[in-house]
């Protein structure tokens, strides 16, 4: 009986312990469930927070990319060439303007050594290499020339500066290139105009002073011819004097006609091709007499209407054509081409007339003097041809530019403003 009661008590204790264990387990389960719910809530919050962070990061990256593209577009749109070289001498930046100025492409220079691309005297007479660039501590400016492929000569202003980071440490070198070819041409034209004006005033005074005694000489020569009726030989000599006086007077008249600023041309609306064709017609007999000179034209498909004096323009182009023919004593080719080109001002346009010959060319020493009155390399000639061309071009509001090298021919480019109806 006692044994049975003891067993029953043991069973009761076991049931109680089991109930307590189940209650404890249920409590732990409830805690775990609450903790899991709390954890789920926290995960949801973290997901939302992470999503917001990702969206913010994406927006930030997009903004940075847009800024990068914006800055790249600005860099590529600059008319100033930009070349950046790191401290190891590698080219890291090379914009479109730098391509246009140097004649090189970004693909062939980026990532390559500066000295391998810009070899000695690439920038004429500047001797720029990486060692020189690395030693420059302050902004340095240099004027130089770049001879592009195809023999184009570009006058360039170089500005060299060190590149520094926010801490002031040097991280590279930046070179900016400015094409100053047009500026140089304008300076040259201004200098030429001033020189021609001064020489013109002097020549006009001299011409006036020469004409006074010429009139007396002509008068005395005429009297001599009348008085020397009985001596044909002396009469002939007097005739030579009179003829010489007339020749000198013609030269002076020709000179005065083109150096006096009060000259009044007769402007009309004409197609530039008309005076060009007239000039070719008048010079055709000389071309035929040479035999070995070929003249070709490459005209614009559309008329190029300008406001000009047809006779003056005819004389201008005739002088250039005759110069080209005389520059090809052993034969060659003269090509005359025309086209419409845009001006620097918005909406402005010009007729470009290009005379290209394969003649003997002009030496570097003579180039600065070719527009000076009386300067000539020919045995015969007054040296007024290009002076006349310059003045006629100036009267019409245009410009003339001559590119030539000795033994390599000459290119004469005349630009005249087109007439806008």
Write down the domain spans for the chain: 1-76, 81-179, 184-259, 268-417
239: left (phi over 0), alpha (psi -120 to 50) or beta: alpha
Separation between Cα atoms, residue 214 and residue 314, nearest integer Å? 31
Torsion of CA 198, 199, 201, 206, to 10 degrees: 150
For residue 366, the model assigns a pLDDT of 76
Spatial CA neighbour of 341 closest among 395, 412, 403, 416 = 416
Q: Residue 341: in which H helix or E strand, if any?
A: strand 332-342
Separation between Cα atoms, residue 34 and residue 91, nearest integer Å? 63
Q: What is the residue whose two structure tokens read 């903004």?
A: 63
E strand map for 16-137 = 81-86, 91-94
- Mean pLDDT across the chain, nearest whole number? 79
The pLDDT of 140-145, averaged and rounded, is 82
Q: What is the residue whose two structure tokens read 């005076």?
A: 275
Asked if pLDDT for residue 383 goes beyond 70, the answer is: no
Class of domain 81-179: alpha beta
pLDDT tens digit sequence for 23-58:
777 777 888 788 888 888 888 888 888 888 888 888
Model's pTM, two decimal places? Answer: 0.49
pLDDT tens digit sequence for 276-311:
998 888 888 777 777 788 889 999 989 999 998 888
For residue 353, the model assigns a pLDDT of 94
CATH code given to domain 184-259 = 1.10.287
Q: What share of the chain is helix, strand, coil (3-state, %, to 5)?
A: 50, 20, 25
Q: Which two tokens stand for residue 180?
A: 């100053």
The listed CATH number (3.30.565.10, 3.30.420.40, 3.40.50.12780, 3.40.50.720) that belongs to domain 268-417: 3.30.565.10
Q: Which two tokens stand for residue 35?
A: 């903790």
Asked if pLDDT for residue 401 goes beyond 60, the answer is: yes
Q: Of the ranges 9-18, 106-115, 388-397, which one carries the lowest mean pLDDT score? A: 9-18
Q: What is the residue whose two structure tokens read 């030539």?
A: 404
Percent of the chain whose predicted confidence (pLDDT) is above 90:
9
pLDDT tens digit sequence for 199-229:
667 766 776 677 677 777 777 777 777 777 6
């Amino acid at each position: 009986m006692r044994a049975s009661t003891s067993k029953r008590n043991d069973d009761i204790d076991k049931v109680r312990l089991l109930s307590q264990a189940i209650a404890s387990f249920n409590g732990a389960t409830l805690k775990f469930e609450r903790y899991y719910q709390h954890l789920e809530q926290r995960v949801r919050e973290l997901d939302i927070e992470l999503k917001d962070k990702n969206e913010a990061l994406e927006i930030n990256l997009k903004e940075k990319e847009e800024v990068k593209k914006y800055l790249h577009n600005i860099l590529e749109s600059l008319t100033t060439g930009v070349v950046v070289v790191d401290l190891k001498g590698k080219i890291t930046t090379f914009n479109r303007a730098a391509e246009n100025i140097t004649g090189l492409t970004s693909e062939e220079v980026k990532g390559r050594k500066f000295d391998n691309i810009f070899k000695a005297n690439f920038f004429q007479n500047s001797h720029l290499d990486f060692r020189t660039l690395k030693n420059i501590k302050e902004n340095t400016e240099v004027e130089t020339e770049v001879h592009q492929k195809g023999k184009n000569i570009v006058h360039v202003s170089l500005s060299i500066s060190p590149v520094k980071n926010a801490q002031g440490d040097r991280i590279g070198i930046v070179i900016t290139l400015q094409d100053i070819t047009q500026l140089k041409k304008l300076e040259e034209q201004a200098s030429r105009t001033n020189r021609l004006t001064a020489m013109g005033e002097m020549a006009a005074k001299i011409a006036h002073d020469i004409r006074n005694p010429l009139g007396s000489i002509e008068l005395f020569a005429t009297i001599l011819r009348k008085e020397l009726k009985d001596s044909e030989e002396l009469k002939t000599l007097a005739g030579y004097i009179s003829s010489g006086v007339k020749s000198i007077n013609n030269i002076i008249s020709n000179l005065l006609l083109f150096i006096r600023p009060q000259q009044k041309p007769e402007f009309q609306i004409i197609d530039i091709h008309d005076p060009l064709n007239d000039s070719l017609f008048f010079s055709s007999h000389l071309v035929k007499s040479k035999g070995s000179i070929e003249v070709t034209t490459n005209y614009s498909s559309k008329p190029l209407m300008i406001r000009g004096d047809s006779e003056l323009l005819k004389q201008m182009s005739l002088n250039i054509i005759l110069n080209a023919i005389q520059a090809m004593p052993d034969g060659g080719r003269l090509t005359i081409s025309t086209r419409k080109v845009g001006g620097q001002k918005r909406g402005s346009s010009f007729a470009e007339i290009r005379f290209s010959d394969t003649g003997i060319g002009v030496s570097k020493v003579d180039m600065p003097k070719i527009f000076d009155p009386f300067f000539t390399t020919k045995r015969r000639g007054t040296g007024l041809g290009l002076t006349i061309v310059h003045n006629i071009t100036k009267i019409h509001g245009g410009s003339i530019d001559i590119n030539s090298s000795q033994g390599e021919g000459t290119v004469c480019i005349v630009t005249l403003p087109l007439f806008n109806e």
